[in-house]
Chains A and B, each alone.
Chain A
C-alpha cells in the first residue's frame, strides 16, 4: 500500500523547511546489521530506520527532524549520525517488516 500523497508532501515540505535531505523508502530493505547501531526498540519508538553506513557516518531516516537518538550517540561516540527525512507511513512500513532480532 502506498502512503497517502499528503504524507510524502508533508515530509518533503519539512525537509525543505529544515534544510535536511529527503528520502523515499518504498521497497527499501534495511541491512539487519545496522540495527547493531540503532536497536529495534529505539527504531520503533522514535520511528527511525538506519539506511546506510558510509565511513563513520550512519545515515538514518526519520519522520521527525530531531529524533531522540541520544542512546546511539552515547554508545557510539565515534559515529556521526546523519538524519534524512522520510514519510511516517514509509518508515512504519519498513519497521513492520523487520525480524525481531537482526543479524
Chain B
C-alpha cells in the first residue's frame, strides 16, 4: 500500500498544530502572519554548527531568557536536552520543516568576509575546535582547555544552581578564569569571531548607524559595515528585541563579534565619552531646568533680594530701633518654629514605623536565583590608599558576585587612584570608570556618568571608606518587595566606625544617631520631603534615570534629590541596616565638609524656592512648611553667632542698645530659645544616642552646644562660598581614622 504524504510545509504546520506549538517558517518569502520569521543571527550562534546539523535544529530567537529553537521533530528529547545544556538557558521548541532548518544553518554559519579584518585584530575561532567542543557544555570546555580544575568546575556548577548565574560568569567573577579566557572559550564554543577592542577603532560610518543611547542600552558597539552586514562587538547574545531594534535602525544584517563585557564598556567610554559627560552634566538642566542649581539665584530672586535689602536698609536708616526689633523678633520666631518643628518630628518618630522590617527568616529563605543585578557606585578622588579597604568592604557583601556591578568612578586627572585600581587586577564586577575632565568636577557628575552604564535594577552609592552591613543589599531587595509602590529610595542608616576617636567624632556620631533614628522617621511620619544622606541610599535605577538623577551643580545633591523625589510623588523608606563610615576626625577637614553641606542646603533651598507658589502646589502646605523649617532652617547656624555675640556683649556691658532691640516680648522669645531650645536639642541628642543604644556617647551629648559653635563657623564659610565659588566641591579627606579607634 503506497501512502500519499502531504507536501513538507503543510505537514509541519499540522504537526505544530497537533502539538500546540508554534510553526515557524524560515523561508524569507513566507509572510510573518503565516509563521515567517527572521532569525536572530546572534541567537543562532548559541549552538555550534555541528550541533545544529546533527540534531536538525537552530536557535532562532532569544527573549526573556528563553531560547526558541526551530526543530523538525518537536519531541526530540535528546536535542532539547542538548540545546538547554549548551545554551545554559531555557529552551522552547518551534516546528520548522527540515529543509528550511538545513538552509538556515548554511546561511547563519557562513564565514565572515575578509574585508572585516581590516578594522582591527579579529581572531578566527579555532579551526580545530569544532569537533573538540562538540556537544560539551562550556564549563567542560574550560576544564578541557586546562583553564579550570574539575574541582573548580564542580564549585562553579554548585554556585550556578544556587544563584542561577551562568557557569562562565561564576568562574570569571570568582577570579578563576580571566574574562579574555572566557571570551576565547565562548568564541570557540559558538564558533564566533573574537575582536580585540583595545586595538580597534570603530568605523565612524558604522557608529553613526546606531544612536549612542541605543548602543549604550544594548551594550553593543558597531564596528564596521561590510557587504550589507553590520558587525557589532557584543559580550553576550542579543535578544530579539535588541536585534529588532538594531535592524530597524540600520536596515542591515547583523553579525556579532565577541569581546569581554568590560572591554565593550571601556570602548563605549572611549568613543562616546564626550557625549556621556554631556549627559552627566546637562541631563537635569535640559529636562528640568528649574530644578538645576547651575545658577545660584535666578534673575527674579536677585531682584527680590535687592529690593528687600534696599527696603531693609531704608527702614534701618529711618527707623533703626523698630527695624532691629522686628529683625530680632522675626528671627526669634523662625528660630523657635524650627526648633519646635524638629522636636515635634522627634516625638512623631517615636510611635512611627519608618523602617521596612526584614526578618532573618526572610533573608534566609531568599532564593538567590531571584536576586536582581545590583549596581554600586563608588566615587573616588585622590583615594588610592583606601582602594584595598574598599575592595574588601564590597567583597564582604553577601550578594552573588555575578549580579554585582561595582563602578569605581575616578576623575581623569586622578592618576594615582586609577593606577592603584588597575594594579589590583580586580575581578570583572569591579569596573573602572574614568570620568573625563569637565566642570563641574563634583561627585554627582561622576555618579551620573557612572549611572549611564549601570546594569543594576537597583543602584546604591557608597563612599570609598564605607563599611555596609554584609546583608544590606539583600535586605533592600526584600524591603522593595514589601514596600509600597511609591518607594523609590531605601535609605540604610549611617554611623561611624571611628566614633570613639575623639570628641569631634563622638559629636558627629551623636548627630547622626539623632538624624537617622529620630528626625528622618519623623519626616516620614509627617509625609514630608526627606533630604537624603550622602551614601547608602538604594534607588530603583529606572526611576532615578527618569528623574535625571543627581544635580551635578548641587554640592548636596543627595538632599536635593530627596526633595525632587518627593515632588515627583515618590517616597523613601529605611531599613534596619547600617553603613559605617569614617567620621571626620580633623577639625579643618570637618569644617570643610560641613561648609559644603550647608552650602548645598542653601543651594537646594534657593533652587526649590525659585517659585515658592509652584512648590506649594507641588508638595502641599505641610511639606512646604517642613521644607522651610528644615532646609531653610539652615540659616539658624548663620544666626547663632549673632545671637551669641549679642548675649555675650549684653552680659558684660548691659548695653542700652541691646536692651532696646530686645523689648520684653522679643527677649522672652529669645530667652526661651536660648534656654528651652538648647535644652531640647541637648535632650534630643541624648535621646538619639539612647535610641541607638549608644549609651557611652550620651554624656558627650551634653556638650553639643560647643558642636553647634563649630557648625556656625562652617555655615558662614559655606554661605560666603555660595556666592564666591558656588560649585566648588570641598573634598573631604578620608583615611584619617586611627587604627585602634574603631
Contacts and interface: CB of A to CB of B under 8 A. Distances in A.
Interface of A: 23-25, 27-31, 33, 36-37, 39, 51-53, 56, 75-79, 103
B209 interface: no
A56 B13 CA distance: 11
A78 B3 contact: no
Interface string B1-20: 11111100001001101111
A30 B19 contact: no
Best-buried of A24, A36, A77 by chain B (most CB within 10 Å): A36
Contact of A53 (B1, B14, B56): B14
Given A36-B73, A53-B6, A103-B98, A27 B17 contact: no
A47 to B, nearest CB: 18
B288 interface: no
Contacts of A24: 1
A80 to B, nearest CB: 9
B97 to A, nearest CB: 10
Given A25-B1, A103-B98, 15 more contacts: A36-B15, A36-B72, A36-B74, A37-B18, A51-B3, A53-B6, A53-B11, A56-B17, A56-B18, A75-B19, A76-B19, A77-B18, A77-B19, A78-B18, A79-B18
B74 A78 contact: no
A33 B3 CA distance: 12
A53 B11 CA distance: 9
Interface in B51-81: 56, 72-75
23 contacts: A23-B1, A24-B1, A27-B1, A29-B3, A31-B3, A33-B5, A33-B11, A36-B73, A36-B74, A37-B15, A39-B75, A51-B3, A52-B4, A53-B6, A56-B17, A75-B74, A75-B75, A76-B19, A78-B18, A79-B18, A103-B72, A103-B73, A103-B98
B3 to A, nearest CB: 5
Main secondary structure of the interface of A (DSSP, over half): loop
Contacts of B74: 36, 75
Interface of B: 1-6, 11, 14-15, 17-20, 56, 72-75, 98
Contacts, number: 47
A76 B3 contact: no
B2 to A, nearest CB: 7
B3 A52 contact: yes
Contacts of B75: 36, 39, 75
Nearest to A75: B75
B15 to A, nearest CB: 6
Contacts of A37: 15, 18
A24 B2 CA distance: 12
A23 B6 CA distance: 21
A26 to B, nearest CB: 8
A56 B6 CA distance: 13
Given A27-B1, A53-B14, A103-B98, A78 B20 contact: yes
B51 to A, nearest CB: 16
A8 to B, nearest CB: 15
> 5 closest Cβ contacts across the A-B interface?
A79-B18, A76-B18, A31-B5, A78-B18, A28-B1
B76 to A, nearest CB: 9
